[in-house]
Amino acid sequence: MIDNWLDAGWSDRELRADVSVGLSSSPKELPPKWFYDDHGSELFDEITRLDEYYPTRREREILEREAGAIAAAAGADCIAELGSGTSTKTRILLDAFAAAGRLRRYVPFDNSAATLRTAAGEVARAYPGLAVHGVVGDFEHHLGHLPLDDVAAPPDSPPRAPAMVVLLGGTIGNFSPARRPAFLDAVAGAMRTGDTFLLGTDLVKDVDRLVAAYDDAAGVTARFNLNVLSVLNRRLGADFDLDAFAHEAVFDADNEWIEMRLRSLRTQTAHIPALEMTVDFAAGERMRTEISAKFRPERVRSELGAAGLVVQRMWTDADGDYALTLARRVL
Ligand code: AVJ
């Protein structure tokens, strides 16, 4: 079963609102969610295989080592995954839960209907007996519809086992610190007392390694960053010249986040017919396209705690590059 909370016009309306607000602000800004058209998703996939980009490998390392411990600690029989994508990493968890004899339900949640349909179908085939209930939605808006309970269960059925909601990949780093509390409140609000949240976070480390991960030698991240302009060209009829912008990645030490930007290489004007908008850029002007926050363990603990999610266990890789945290909703 797949629920779809995104009507046909949803993404267009969101894109238009984001672009008109973002490009009329000062400094200009575009939200990172628009990187991921088909080409952008392929480029991101390529990023995860780069030598410089450690987070994906570190996370997989921790998952492979600790999936059994995660299954035991969570005691859940339902896994709900936010931003499930192709559900590849999830299989490590699904296997561990199945091995523990308590895998009953998988709820992948993604904003791409096509990706979700394919992934949900593949998981359902690979795990016979598993109830797969997919949700097409935007996790900034539709967490209230996360179907952790089987709606078809008879009203007199026994209380269910806990569910585990997961957000992997360090995606939470895309939220600014100002917006994280509301997001974590929404996650906790979608859970019930006793449910757990498994969160992947990239950790603060040596600046050179951080910057290299977002400014790789082969220039894949640069193409990924510039691709957002192609998305605007294609979907809004805009005329951004991709050769007239340069990729930049810097570590903001005060905020402890990586900031990606596109720097205008000359004075130029872009036209966005769908918004009846013209946008002037000064030579050297920077437009922010992403923040990727890096965490310290204490901060993960305190932010989760503020949302009523008490950290039960935290796992890191041997080098302390990345953390997986399991927190339980206690009230
Ligand atoms: C998918 C948001 C986790 O912040 O590391 C990778 C996106 N941007 N390289 C990240 C990204 C540039 C990635 N997240």
Binding pocket residue ranges, ligand 1, CB within 6 Å: 47, 55, 169-171, 173-174, 214, 221, 290, 292
Shortest-distance atom of ligand 1 to CA 290? 8
Shortest-distance atom of ligand 1 to CA 213? 9
What's the count of helices (H) and strands (E) in the chain, helices before strands? 9, 14
Distance CA 248, CA 291 (A): 12
Question: What is the Å distance from ligand 1's center to 101 Cα?
Answer: 34
User: What's the pLDDT at 151?
Assistant: 67
Q: What is the pTM of this model?
A: 0.96
Task: Give tens-digit pLDDT for 254-303.
Answer: 999 999 999 999 999 999 999 999 999 999 999 999 999 999 999 999 99
- Total Cβ atoms within 10 A of residue 20: 17
User: What's the pLDDT at 87?
Assistant: 83
Nearest Cα to Cα of residue 96 among 77, 83, 122: 77
Average pLDDT value over all residues in the chain:
96
Determine the average pLDDT of the residues in 304-309: 98
31 CB contacts (<8 Å, ≥6 apart)?
18, 22
